[in-house]
A and B are shown apart, each in its own frame.
Chain A
Amino acid sequence: MAQADQGAENSGRERILARIRSALRVPAPEHAAPAGSASGGAIFAPIADPLERFRQECALNKTECLLTSDLGASAAAVAEVLGSIPPGEIFVQDAPALRRMVPLWQGRAIRWSSEGGPAEASQATITCAEALVARTGSAFVSSRCGGRGASIVAPVHIVVATIDQLVPGLDEAFARLRASGAVEKNSMLCLITGSSRTADIEKIIVMGAHGPRRVVVVLATA
């Protein structure tokens, strides 16, 4: 039987903790301690116009950012993206806002997240997000947004979001995740910035390593 299945605590635990406690009885030398109480200095410059910054960052990290007037227009924008990808099943987060968009999607075969994870051959996935981050042009998703595979399995990931989800930086994004209970409720959170890439061959950046080659954020501004 694997140790993982034995009910009792593993025996190394107490010994490791005892060694840690004994080690920490000697304080680290003064000169290595952080000076003063805490660093108060600003690390990043404030962001005056989050939407403008978000668009700039998306352009840099190769996220396609489509601005629409409202969710109705977003449905049409998503339909247009779908028109550009090969036929086949798509995977969609089972959310009321996305269900309402279906009539515009030209009868694509849809697998909903309420039926399980995405199929290996999914052509695209469509999900909501927990937040959008302006400073890095990122989308914060969670397992609530269609599960774990929803943002990684298919070659195209379409994120449907609204302007009230856009925050300036990561601090604000974490605050939002805490406030909404997303941290407790989800087994996965992921900050996605651009599409999957690698620079492991001669440090040259190649897009589309294992995850989506295209990330599209459809952002309703009203």
Chain B
Amino acid sequence: MSTPAQEFLRSAAVKSSDLVHRRTIRTGIDHYETAVERTGERFLDYEAARQRMHEIKWEAVNHLDRYLLEFEKRVKERGGRVYWAETAEDARQYIAELAAARGVRTVVKSKSMVTEEIDLTHTLEKQGVRVYETDLGELIVQLRNEPPYHLMTPAMHLTRAQIAELFAEKYGGVESDDPEHLVAVARRELRKAFFAAEMGVSGANFLVADTGMVALTTNEGNGRLGSSLPRIHVAVTGIEKVIPRMEDLAVIWPTLARAAVGIPIACYNTLLGGPRNANEPDGPEEFHVVLLDNGRSELLADAEQREVLHCVRCGACLNVCPVFRKVGGHSYGTVYGGPIGSVLMPHLGGLEKYQHLSFASSLCGACTNACPVKIDLHHHLLQNRRNAVKETQRSFGERSAFRLLRWVMMSAGRFAFLGGAGRALLRAAYALGLARTQLDPLRPWTQTHAAPRIPAKSFRAMWKEQRGAS
């Protein structure tokens, strides 16, 4: 059995040399970047929007008990139910039992990372419930029997030709790989499920404390159908999703839309409060909100990293991350990928198991700059590294190497001497024609890169010459 770290390295090596994968991701990211830039013009001051987003989430997360209780009270006033789930198992069980008790045979799901986190679909399927992913991207990865590739665009890694082939195999009646046609095929198939389902399961983008409403954002309208047609609606989400006031959404909705996909605002921004009222023509008879902890309260206790709970799951940090762009979403082997996943997973799944993700970063800070709620992501990666070194067992080799490095770096003389020796050694090796062979001292690098030109002098020597001795 290989460890998650070994799996990551293996998959990362495969993916980063897969040229089709790289081209597909490049195309997706190019579209995203152009769109984000264009929507920037719609803001007088986007930085002020980020600051406001940060303030809203700060207020909510640092008074989490108060706002969750207010939310719960208002949901109950509206005739809805709130269940607090301590673990993934707890949340799954509540929903599975509810489905069984109500004779549910078909569930329509709209896109939700929390349902991935609690692995809801398999649990429901085991008790004979048909579960349909209704977000197009989620549907595609469900049909391929693989996890979502990306928080926001789950099928980003696939080309239209691959999707056409998939639909032809599963559904038939596919005439071309034109995206418009493929969307029509999916619409036709899913419409039957929407009208047959007894239960709709969604996530929640936000929980609005002062109105007791679940805010759900979709472009396709699948979340709208799933919360309108079935007789039961279950929204399952993390406890950190609460916000104080409905009015906060005036900034949140457009800012989220820009960060997530580069549009002015999503097509459907919906607020759902309770089951249908007596005087309303349709809507679910039952409305349940499942509030999931699953490690979040422990992250809350880590004051240094508490703001990681501000995350709105827009996926912007993935899109801008040079590591994500090369290794792709599946290499992480986690529910939450990219920089936010690397920060979060040690908290949700254990430091021992997921620390390697925090080391797989150049710490360039692109994620921090892109984050619409201003989470200091790259510093949290650095803190995870520190915690990993402090709290987990390091190998004898690693400890010795760092002890040696420290000893060398503590003296300018030792540093200069060993640097010079290293350059001399490399020059000699390369003069013998060892560059890029098995015996190349820089083998790990030169395996996939051209051999570097060995400089004649050290950086310090060149600095002295060009700037004069100081």
Contacts and interface: CB of A to CB of B under 8 A. Distances in A.
Contacts of B86: 12, 15-16
Interface string A191-222: 11111111111111010111110000000000
B134 A138 contact: no
B220 A191 contact: no
B301 A19 contact: yes
Contacts of B186: 209
Given A138-B265, A148-B224, A174-B250, A204 B179 contact: yes
A4 B94 contact: yes
A29 B58 CA distance: 12
B83 A43 contact: no
B198 interface: no
A106 interface: no
Contact of A210 (B48, B211, B213, B222): B222
A147 to B, nearest CB: 4
B367 interface: no
A28 B306 contact: yes
Interface in A166-206: 169-171, 173-174, 178, 183, 185-204, 206
A22 interface: yes
**Contact count band on A:** 35 or more
Interface string B429-466: 00000000000000000000000000000000000000
B277 interface: yes
Contacts of B55: 34, 38-39
B45 A194 contact: no
Q: Which of B55, B227, B268 has the most CB of A within 10 A?
A: B268
A48 interface: no
Given A43-B45, A203-B32, A171 B247 contact: yes
A136 B265 contact: yes
A43 B281 contact: no
Interface in A87-124: 113-118, 120
A86 interface: no
Contacts of A174: 246-247, 249-250
B338 interface: no
A20 to B, nearest CB: 5
B264 A41 contact: no
A52 to B, nearest CB: 16
B264 A136 contact: yes
Given A189-B213, A191-B269, A20 B65 contact: yes
A4 B100 CA distance: 11
Nearest to B261: A199
A2 B186 CA distance: 33
Contacts of A8: none
B379 to A, nearest CB: 10
Contacts of A146: 281
22 contacts: A2-B102, A16-B86, A23-B298, A23-B301, A24-B64, A28-B307, A39-B52, A44-B43, A143-B280, A147-B281, A148-B282, A174-B249, A188-B272, A191-B269, A197-B219, A201-B183, A209-B183, A209-B186, A209-B219, A211-B225, A211-B267, A211-B268
Given A24-B64, A174-B249, 12 more contacts: A2-B94, A15-B86, A17-B69, A38-B55, A146-B281, A193-B267, A196-B219, A196-B267, A199-B31, A200-B140, A201-B158, A202-B159
